[in-house]
Amino acid sequence: MESLSELNTFTKILNEKGYNGYFHTQGAYAGKLKESISEYLSNFHKRADHFPLQDLLLTGYLQWSGEDKPRV
């Protein structure tokens, strides 16, 4: 239950900083931040005996919204 509280805190901090889009956790599990990490963690626990916990790789998407710049 403590990890859920920590995930909520982590999500809140990043959302307040403007990171409120979609993410990939460990190169998969696409979705909003909390859902992406939650899905990764639930799948990780199913196979934890085969793969040790590594650093968490979190990637995001870039949305270009500059009117004066036609492309990324």
pLDDT, one tens digit per residue, over 18-28 is 888 889 888 88
CA–CA distance, 30 with 32 (Å, rounded to integer): 7
Domain that holds residue 16: 2-60
Decide if 56 is inside a domain: yes
Q: Summarize pLDDT for 9-64 with one digit per residue, the tens.
A: 999 999 999 888 889 888 888 999 999 999 988 887 776 566 666 778 888 877 77
Predicted pLDDT of residue 12: 94
Decide if 6 is inside a domain: yes
One-character DSSP codes across 7-66: HHHHHHHHHHTT--SEEEETTEEEEEHHHHHHHHHHHHHHSTTTS---PPPEEE------
Decide if 69 is inside a domain: no
- Is the CB of residue 13 less than 8 Å from the CB of residue 19? no
Decide if 38 is inside a domain: yes
- Is the CB of residue 33 less than 8 Å from the CB of residue 11? yes
Predicted pLDDT of residue 21: 86
Decide if 11 is inside a domain: yes
Q: Predicted confidence band at 1 (pLDDT cuts at 50, 70, 90)?
A: very low
